């Protein structure tokens, strides 16, 4: 771990990014919560685009980040020691002790927190469950740092990658209140985007139960495309005791409440119809040419469309067909029908019982997190591992966060004893993620522009044992993809 104290001007001379959306959103957040002349601790700050506005508002800053990409530490090393801004580089879990206390604890898309919450959402979806009031919404590291909040201080969490739709998870807000209360924190309000419900802003206080009146928030989270904002929870309207707990469940529109109360099969059908005939047409009418008609329901994609997406992903490769391809996260096995266009034999890997999987030539059932999940497969036995919408993507996710060790649903497969062992030398790891929401990330940009910009902006990292050979955006699949070759 490394600790630096540098001048604010020196820091932002090295990170001079122009971020008008972030600027506008942070000014509203600062005005809402009166964050001026205070001490602010930000965990997972990165290049501190948002935190710049805390500095401009006269706040004292301590920033913490693991610097996974290695882009921040070299710049800090070059800066002269000065008072103004403290930056600690290292694993957030290493810094919990000896922090002191702060008026504001701030998180914006803290990767381990987002990925943990996203994995719970996906597991619930696979089992047809909603969020339980007993499941903790926030990562232990997030809650560990709350001990550094002063009495009467503020916790702010912006979430955009591992967000959750409270309309379908009636107990989620009660779970938030329960977990925060266990650390002497009181949930006072939550804002979210009106359409992309997973983009949320949580505010909680330590000791006191309400915020002083402030300017309303019309926008927040500048790293996501602009959307109208709604406040879905306010402590002043929820009250205390049993009445307050009852008030935590946001009252969804009637159509959504009907879908939520229906049997699982009916809900899936209604969700599919809603996505195809309501959400998708509304996005297209608003000018989002990149909108995905099957967003959140990739099972609705036709075999022909999936085969076209596969053809786009493999277009730049010297080979066009392989002997053995694994469909990783195969589900019921329907994607295998499209993979027949490039494979003589299609195997499947998933956590489901074997009697629910068809269309594959061999099925391997695994347990989540099993360090030897590929043990039934021989060395160099596989030509291609294909992953399609396995762990979910969000608007602001990049391949670097996807392949992060914090994403425990994929990182275990990248261990030497798994994919790097079973894929033959010269074989491929191909991944495409449907839940990328290009309309949320790119706005109304034309598809051609998205395709041109995607390789750089989705930012694929180096993977041990592999070389990057292709990265882009599939027009057929409306999703980013990446291809690595085993070396």
Residues 198-221 as b or e (16 or more Cβ within 10 Å = b): bbbbbbbbbeeeebeeeeebebbb
Residue that wins the pLDDT comparison between 258 and 429 = 429
CA angle at residue 241 from 235 to 244, to 5 degrees? 35
Q: What is the pLDDT of residues 396-426, one digit of tens each?
A: 678 887 887 767 778 889 999 999 999 999 9
Q: Residue 140: pLDDT above 50?
A: yes
Q: Number of helices and strands (H, E) in the chain?
A: 19, 16
Q: What average pLDDT is seen over the chain?
A: 85
| Mean pLDDT score, 147-151 | 93
**pTM assigned to the model:** 0.56
| Mean pLDDT score, 182-200 | 89
Going by pLDDT thresholds of 50, 70 and 90, the confidence category of residue 443 is confident
Q: What is the pLDDT of residue 246?
A: 36
Q: What is the pLDDT of residue 394?
A: 66
Which domains can be identified in the chain, with CATH numbers?
Answer: 2-247 (3.40.50.150), 257-285 (no CATH), 298-486 (3.40.50.150)
Torsion of CA 28, 33, 38, 41, to 10 degrees: -80
Q: What is the pLDDT of residue 340?
A: 95
Q: Tell me the C-alpha distance between 432 and 119, whole Å.
A: 17
Q: What is the CA radius of gyration of the chain?
A: 23
| Mean pLDDT score, 5-28 | 86
Record the tokens describing residue 203, joined without a space. Answer: 């505010």
Q: What is the pLDDT of residues 49-96, one digit of tens each?
A: 889 999 989 999 999 998 877 888 999 999 999 888 999 998 887 787
Provide the percentage of residues in the chain whose pLDDT is more than 90. 45
Give the count of beta carbons closer than 10 Å to the beta carbon of residue 227: 16
Q: What is the pLDDT of residues 92-135, one digit of tens each?
A: 877 877 788 999 999 998 888 888 888 888 788 777 788 989 89
Q: Residue 388: pLDDT above 60?
A: yes
What one-character-per-residue DSSP string does 132-187 give?
-TTS-SS-HHHHHHGGGEEEEEEEEEEESSS---TTT-TTHHHHHHHHHHTTTEEE
| Mean pLDDT score, 347-369 | 90
Look-up: residue for tokens 């990248």? 414
| Mean pLDDT score, 306-328 | 95
Look-up: residue for tokens 């403290």? 86
| Mean pLDDT score, 7-26 | 85
Of 181-195, 404-418, 462-476, least confident by mean pLDDT is 404-418
Provide the 3-class DSSP secondary structure of residue 21.
helix
| Mean pLDDT score, 458-477 | 93
Residues 116-133 as b or e (16 or more Cβ within 10 Å = b): bbbbbbbebeeeeeebeb
Cα-flanking dihedrals φ and ψ of residue 49, to 5°?
-60, -50
Q: What is the pLDDT of residues 265-302, one digit of tens each?
A: 676 677 778 778 888 888 888 888 888 887 767 677 88
Q: What is the pLDDT of residue 248?
A: 43
Q: What is the pLDDT of residue 250?
A: 44
Residue that wins the pLDDT comparison between 352 and 387 = 387
Of 251-255, 342-346, 480-484, least confident by mean pLDDT is 251-255
The number of residues in the chain equals 487
Provide the percentage of residues in the chain whose pLDDT is more than 70. 90
CA distances from 237 to 240, 250, 280, 365, 435 (A): 9, 12, 34, 48, 34
CA distances from 310 to 184, 236, 297, 476, 477 (A): 51, 52, 18, 9, 9
* Residues 120 and 107: beta-carbon distance below 8 Å: no
DSSP structure class, residue 287: T
Torsion of CA 411, 48, 227, 390, to 10 degrees: 0
| Mean pLDDT score, 197-212 | 83
441: Cβ contacts below 8 Å, ≥ 6 apart: 224, 225, 395, 396
């Amino acid at each position: 771990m490394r600790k630096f104290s540098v001048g604010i001007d020196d820091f932002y001379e090295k990170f001079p990014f122009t971020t008008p959306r972030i600027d506008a959103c942070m000014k509203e957040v600062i005005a809402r919560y009166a964050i001026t002349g205070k001490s602010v601790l930000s965990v997972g700050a990165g290049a501190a685009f948002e935190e710049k506005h805390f500095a401009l508002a006269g706040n004292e800053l301590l920033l913490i980040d693991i610097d996974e990409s290695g882009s921040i530490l070299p710049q800090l090393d070059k800066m002269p020691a000065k008072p103004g801004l403290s930056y600690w580089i290292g694993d957030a879990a290493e810094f919990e002790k000896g922090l002191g206390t702060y008026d504001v604890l701030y998180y914006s898309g803290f990767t381990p927190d987002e990925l943990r919450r996203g994995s719970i959402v996906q597991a619930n979806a696979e089992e047809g469950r909603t969020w339980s009031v007993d499941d903790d919404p926030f990562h232990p590291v997030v809650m560990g740092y709350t001990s550094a909040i002063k009495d009467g201080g503020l916790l702010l969490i912006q979430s955009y990658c591992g967000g959750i739709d409270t309309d379908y998870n009636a107990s989620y807000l009660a779970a938030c209140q329960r977990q925060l209360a266990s650390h002497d924190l009181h949930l006072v309000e939550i804002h979210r985007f009106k359409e992309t419900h997973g983009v949320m802003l949580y505010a909680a206080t330590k000791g006191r139960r309400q915020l002083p009146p402030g300017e309303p928030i019309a926008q927040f989270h500048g790293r996501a495309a602009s959307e109208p904002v709604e406040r879905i929870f306010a402590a002043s309207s929820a009250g205390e005791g049993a009445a307050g707990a009852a008030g935590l469940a946001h009252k969804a529109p009637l159509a959504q409440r009907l879908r939520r109360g229906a049997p699982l099969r009916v809900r899936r059908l209604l969700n599919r119809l809603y996505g195809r005939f309501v959400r998708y047409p509304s996005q297209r009418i608003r000018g989002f040419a990149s909108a995905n008609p099957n967003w959140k329901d990739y099972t609705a994609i036709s075999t022909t469309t999936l085969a076209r997406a596969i053809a786009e992903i493999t277009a730049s490769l010297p080979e066009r067909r392989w002997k053995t391809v694994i469909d990783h996260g195969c589900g019921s096995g329907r994607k295998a029908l499209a993979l027949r266009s490039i494979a003589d034999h299609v195997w499947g890997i998933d956590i489901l019982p074997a009697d629910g999987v068809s269309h594959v030539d061999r099925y391997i059932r695994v347990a989540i997190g099993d360090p030897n999940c590929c043990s039934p497969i021989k060395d160099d036995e596989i030509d291609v591992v294909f992953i399609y919408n396995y762990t979910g993507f969000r608007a602001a996710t990049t391949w670097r966060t996807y392949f992060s060790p914090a994403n425990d649903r994929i990182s275990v497969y990248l261990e030497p004893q798994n994919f790097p062992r079973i894929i033959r030398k010269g074989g491929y790891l191909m991944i495409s993620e449907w839940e990328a929401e290009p309309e949320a990330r790119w706005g109304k940009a034309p598809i051609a522009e998205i395709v041109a910009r995607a390789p750089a902006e989705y930012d694929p990292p180096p993977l041990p044992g592999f070389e990057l050979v292709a990265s882009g955006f599939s027009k057929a699949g409306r999703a980013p993809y990446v291809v690595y070759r085993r070396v």
